Amino acid sequence: MAPYSNTFQFNYELKTLIFAETDLSELHSELFLPIPNLESLDLSQSQLKSLDFLVQASLSALRYLKLTSNEINVINETVFQTLPSLTYLDLDKNPFTCECSNADFIQWAKNSKQTQVVNAHQYVCSFPVSKRGSLLLDFDVQSCWDDGSVFYFISSTCLVVLTLLTSFTYNFLRWYLIYTFHLFLAFLYDSRKKRKGDPYRFDAFVSYNVHDEDWVYREMLPVLEGEQGWRLCLHHRDFQPGPSLCSSSRLSSELHTLLPPPARPPIFPSPIYSLASWPHNSTTQVSGQGEDISKI
């Protein structure tokens, strides 16, 4: 049975304490608070399973610590950070676990220049079964630090950032991206069209009355050709000299040669010209199945 917490309340100057072959499995740090000047502590064969009680014990003057033949298997390195004066540590005959949970203690036992871990090179592993009998200091602690945790951290961080960017893009930029995508498709189409060569010289035919000629050249052409990039065909400007255009067969032949064959050919009659009967008949013939003609 562990001593009461007030056992040493009148022993402030106590320097050495030995609890050997005593059941201290339920030992608490309050027991050591009245003796902060303790320099030597022997808790051998005391059925101790952990050293966590030392963290709050305030034993800043402790130099000698003997913990042999207990049931300690995992040791937290931070325990010894609370013992700044410790120079001698004996943990022999404890059932150590040779896993990553002891990696910090193993590294500390190898590298500590202040504290001598007595016979540390002879400490034997008891757990896991696959490492039973092997030496504690032979455990490869490097494998614990190369377990992929850095990779998982970087991967999860990238995933979070990607999720945030995707959400932001969908909510605020998706229409810009769609517009950019269609511009890119138009660029590819235009590039492919230029490589293949366009057999047609014009995109649309403009049929107009002589009374509308000034309006066509001053208002319509600057908008359609200058601003929108249409290649317009004007019979007075672009047709080769030859038979009269009053012949519907002549007009149809010229248009099929100069214009691409969409389902509804873009033929734009001017306002006065569209009132005449013969151009309507001619353009209807060119349109195919008597479809309506777009008017300006």
Two tokens, residue 152 = 């998982």
Residue length of the chain: 296
Rounded (10°) angle between helices 277-287 and 248-258: 50
- What domains are defined for the chain? 16-143 (3.80.10.10), 197-296 (3.40.50)
Half-sphere exposure of 226 (CA within 13 A, CB side): 8
pLDDT average, residue stretch 146-167: 83
Strands 16-18 and 232-234: unpaired
Q: State the pTM of this model.
A: 0.53
Quick: pLDDT tens for 128-140: 999 999 999 999 9
Task: Tell me the per-residue pLDDT of 23-38, one tens digit each, with 9 for 90 and over.
Answer: 998 898 999 999 999 9
End-to-end CA distance of the chain: 107
Report whether pLDDT(189) > 70: yes
Place 213 in a pLDDT band, splitting at 50, 70 and 90.
confident
**Which helix or strand (DSSP H or E) is residue 106 part of?**
helix 103-111
Q: Which of 118, 135, 137 is nearest to 126 (CA)?
A: 135
DSSP class of residue 122 equals: G
Segment (H or E) for 81: helix 78-81
CB neighbour class for 94 (10 Å; exposed up to 12, middle 13-18, buried from 19): buried
